[in-house]
Amino acid sequence: MKIQGVLFDKDGTLIEVNATWVPIYREILKELFATDDAGAEALMQKAGYDPATGKFKAGSLLAGGTTRQIAATWWPELSGEAFEARVHNLDHGYTHLVRDKLTPLMPLEPLLVELRGMGLKLGVATNDSHVSAKAHMAHVGVIEHFDDIIAADTVAVPKPSGNMIRKFAEITGLPAASLAMVGDNHHDMEEARAGGAGLAIAVLSGNAAREDIAHLADYTIESVADLPALLRSL
């Protein structure tokens, strides 16, 4: 079936994950735990930061987990309202840091204009929160190109349940088999399979190396810059 819609993962696919989130999380944790750089990095390691590379490990919570999963790693003793307050703070309390650090992987406007010119419906499927994901796409100036932004808190179960594929199919009226899921994490490829997407396309612009993800994908490309040419070739 011809591909008629594309769902993009956000961090590592559209947004430069390490240049953006390593310094942001470092500052957040220093403030929340009243610690120094070393203390913040120790906390990040619990959620998947590799100090040897300065990057998040492929498949880790920091690479593809939800805010709730990350918060549970840092505050395992909390529950109820206290835990929800931490989740809310992570999602809403640091927009000033995001504005300063958020870095797209490339100029996204020309890419998205080209894809829409090919008649494709476009969406974002992220395990980030909806409020954060919308703010990030607005901040880099491309939110109007997406038919929907689907986040961990807008589906019953986040990636890799398949719910995001199914929701985008419902929103656009397209068959799931006509959708391509594009991402840098094994959760993205598993989301494509679980949701019945027509294609799972891996990008190597995040934290997963080719050997981490290519075997899970139908196609592997260096970055989303190569996506229009790939789709035209099919």
Q: Cβ of 42: how many Cβ atoms within 10 Å?
A: 15
pLDDT tens-digit profile, the chain (234 residues): 899 999 999 999 999 999 999 999 999 999 999 999 999 999 999 999 999 999 999 889 998 899 999 999 999 999 999 999 999 999 899 888 888 899 999 999 999 999 999 999 999 999 999 999 999 999 999 999 999 999 999 999 999 999 999 999 999 999 999 999 999 999 999 999 999 999 999 999 998 999 999 999 999 999 999 999 999 999
Burial class of 89 by CB neighbour count within 10 A (0 to 12, 13 to 18, 19+): middle
Q: What's the predicted TM-score (pTM) here?
A: 0.93
- Residue 180 parent element (H or E): strand 179-183
| Radius of gyration, alpha carbons of the chain | 17
